[in-house]
Structure 1
Amino acid sequence: MSIESPIFTPVTIGPVTLRNRVIRSAAFENMAYGNSPSQDLYDYHVAVARGGVGMTTLAYAAVDRSGLSFDGQLWMRKEIVPDLRRITDAIHAEGAKASIQLGHCGNMTHRSTCGCMPVGASGGFNMYSPTFVRSLKINEIHDLVKAFGNAVNLAREAGFDCVEIHAGHGYLISQFLSPYTNHRHDEFGGSLENRMRFMRMVISEVMKAAGDDLGVIVKMNMHDGFKKGMQRAECLEVAKELERLGVHAIVLSAGFVSKAPMEVMRGAMPLKTLAHYMDMKKFWWLKAALLTIGRLLIPTVPYREGYFLEDAMQFRQVLKLPLIYVGGLISKDKMEEVLAAGFQGLQVARALVHDTDFVNKLHSGEITCSGCKHSNYCIGRMYTLEMRCHHCVENMPASLRKEIEKAEAES
């Protein structure tokens, strides 16, 4: 028996039609060991496709080596196309579509990972790594624009149906957009019109490369999450510009990983988990800081289901293109509420980390809500090891179990 619901009706994004409205969002898996696809990455996304989603999204793939922030992140290059094709073929065999998120981390990396001095919209010192960062030169900006177009062509060759361009969360496009990270005095800085220039160039190149057979989705911020960042009014103008440029859908998110990380994910960062899995030799100082003043560095932002919906409605009211909602969806009722509010797609991450069969179980009526209770263990773990829910981990230290139980009790 299958439950009748708008969740399980087809939706079209540009040239691509999905079997239902649920999209596995581009949450970092940390499964691209050596920056290449792995069997773990294959197994996870095929399981999610088998579990009933309309489309699954492989997380952040850097368009250039300088855009890598982790060793377990994909780096989009010719030699990994066959392994990516193996994944997309298997996803398609399960009846789902495949997307890949393309981006550049900008200043949120370290020389040991990206192979060069980190670059950003502006230079300075980044506490995230920590490391010194230099400002991109004009010719380098143009080279990165071309790298985005090349990555789209590689995505087509690898069998993807859609690409998702990451223009939020304080990564490179977002660094150009935000006055907090863009202090340039040339044509790429100052006014919002100038700060949008890099995004406009990237999206124009992406749309040209996508042609008429690839869907183009853009993830962007509705606000940065702090006073000196972008606020809603400017973000609305960014969204209107993306609509004018012809993108097929927008994912509406918020937050800045280097400044307001829990604005993105909500709840509490599990600091003991985060510190436990860190490499003591490489990050002893950060580990110590997390265990002493971690809550000051990464303050809790309360979680509630559908936490971005009120903000997203402001964008729905002024835009005509398809909008994809992301932000703490775990129940059939809330998902239907979002669709009734005029959103075309639903992005889900933690519910699909908890159970890759989440969508099938909703559709059959076996469940009406995910068992995920947002302890955020998967987030604390994914910066060091492969993404995994705590209920899939054996022999976990008692201190981490207690942290999880406390977080779940408070959620």
Structure 2
Amino acid sequence: MEESILFTSGKIGPLTLRNRTIRAAAFESMAPGNAPSELLYNYHKSVAAGGIGMTTLAYAAVTQSGLSFERQLWLRPEIIPGLRRITDAIHKEGAAASIQMGHCGNMSHKSICGCTPISASSGFNIYSPTIVRGMKQSEIAAIAKAYGEAVRLAKEAGMDAVEIHAGHGYLISQFLSPYTNHRKDEYGGSLENRMRFMKMCMDEVMKAAGSDTAVLVKINMRDGFNGGMEIEESLDVARTLQNECGAHALILSGGFVSKAPMYVMRGAMPLKTLTYYMPTGWLPLGVKIGGHFMIPSVPFKEAYFLEDALKFRKALNLPLVYVGGLISRKKIDEVLDYGFEFVSMARALINDPAFVNHMKEDKHARCDCGHSNYCIGRMYSIEMACHKHVQNLPEKLIKEIEQLENK
């Protein structure tokens, strides 16, 4: 094995990171009132102190209509001082700060986003459940402009980088995927047309980013089900982002929250945990009855996206960030040896915010995440946390965690 580049500096556009690690933009659920909280501040400060190259605040909506959770950031002028406090703390620890931004499209409900959810095409979202309205052309241009405005706000908040979410079945992904885009105008049909909205958003993003802000884009390599985007089309999307849109780096992911959620994260959804933290009503009852069908398990293995990601590494020459199932120094070094410039992690850093420092001290370091996905089950209702950091767990949740971790 070649000498590891893990603890060497690396560049993303105008930005240099102290090492090759990035805290992935996993939703923290730490923004009650859609604004940063003390919990969000403490968590990202701890990850920065734990040695990360760059930590990413997750999933900030570019407009109110883009919110899918009550405890999710919404980028607007009122929250900039709170975000600035977080970026200052991250910088003080020697790390860079990034914020993921996007629009959830059909993955919402009027009670959260303040309107009938919008998407590339009209339809019905069984997960909310709610009617969804296809966007008018005038709205498409307005949302693209909102991405640019969100980048300007992120810069004001002291962010070194922005991450544009173009995957996982959120709005840009809903335009890209033939599964959700049934439009008959110039935004639907051919891949060229389905990419039009993404290119409009990226045009606004790159103008706002200027010469001093790094721009990363998270994309799907596959949607993860029949009838969705597959590798060949996704490679064309990646080439467009590289050659036409000017993205500084791509984050290679996969999965569709409304259709194949565990394809993104792997393992099983802990349904007892999910329903335990939900507010009372018919939804937890529905999940108890049909959850195994709605959220099917997908087996976890280390570096589960690597085989697909290597096809993108071969086809592209811009910096690529590998994400998906990294829990050991050995596998991280292996991924970097394949030519990926950066690695991105989420669950490993929920389990151990100082995991990067531990890898620096020990070449055999491995975090002890057992992939029960308790953190994800809990995330939809209250703040994300590893069960190992939670006291007084109910016995039924302890049993579920043990059962899933000992499979």
Give your verdict on TM over 0.5: yes
User: Would you say the 8 A contact 2:330–2:364 is kept in 1?
Assistant: no
**Which residue pairs with 1:104 in the alignment?**
103
Residues 250-399 of structure 1: matches in 2 within 5 Å? 250-280=250-280, 284-365=281-362, 368-399=365-396
Q: Which amino acid aligns with 2:191?
A: L
**Which residue pairs with 1:161 in the alignment?**
160
- Structure 2: unaligned runs, 5 residues or longer: none
The offset of 1:205, in angstroms, is: 1.0
**Which residue pairs with 1:404 in the alignment?**
401
**Which residue pairs with 1:193 in the alignment?**
192
SS of 2:406 mapped into structure 1: helix
Distance in 2 between residues matched to 1:58 and 1:135, nearest whole Å: 29
Distance in 1 between residues matched to 2:156 and 2:211, nearest whole Å: 14
- Structure 1: unaligned runs, 5 residues or longer: none
Moved more, 187-196 or 357-366: 357-366
Distance in 2 between residues matched to 1:372 and 1:6, nearest whole Å: 24
TM-score (norm 1): 0.97
Once the two structures are superposed, residues 100-120 of structure 1 have per-residue CA deviations (whole angstroms, 9 ceiling, x without a partner) of: 001000010000100111111
The offset of 1:385, in angstroms, is: 0.5
1:225 aligns with 2:247: no
Once the two structures are superposed, residues 265-290 of structure 1 have per-residue CA deviations (whole angstroms, 9 ceiling, x without a partner) of: 0000001100111001xxx3221122
Distance in 2 between residues matched to 1:107 and 1:197, nearest whole Å: 19
Distance in 2 between residues matched to 1:111 and 1:367, nearest whole Å: 48
The offset of 1:49, in angstroms, is: 0.2
Q: Which amino acid aligns with 1:225?
A: G
**Which residue pairs with 1:46 in the alignment?**
45
CA RMSD of aligned residues (A): 0.9
Distance in 2 between residues matched to 1:56 and 1:62, nearest whole Å: 18
Once the two structures are superposed, residues 245-297 of structure 1 have per-residue CA deviations (whole angstroms, 9 ceiling, x without a partner) of: 110000000000000000000000001100111001xxx32211222221111
Once the two structures are superposed, residues 273-332 of structure 1 have per-residue CA deviations (whole angstroms, 9 ceiling, x without a partner) of: 00111001xxx3221122222111111100000000000001111100000000010001
SS of 2:22 mapped into structure 1: strand
User: Would you say the 8 A contact 1:63–1:148 is kept in 2?
Assistant: yes
The offset of 1:367, in angstroms, is: 5.7
Distance in 1 between residues matched to 2:30 and 2:47, nearest whole Å: 15
Once superposed, which parts of structure 1, at least 4 consecutive aligned residues long, lie more than 4 Å away?
none
Once the two structures are superposed, residues 143-185 of structure 1 have per-residue CA deviations (whole angstroms, 9 ceiling, x without a partner) of: 0011000000001100000000000000000000000000100
Q: How many residues align?
A: 404
Distance in 2 between residues matched to 1:366 and 1:254, nearest whole Å: 29
User: Would you say the 8 A contact 1:361–1:367 is kept in 2?
Assistant: no
SS of 1:235 mapped into structure 2: helix
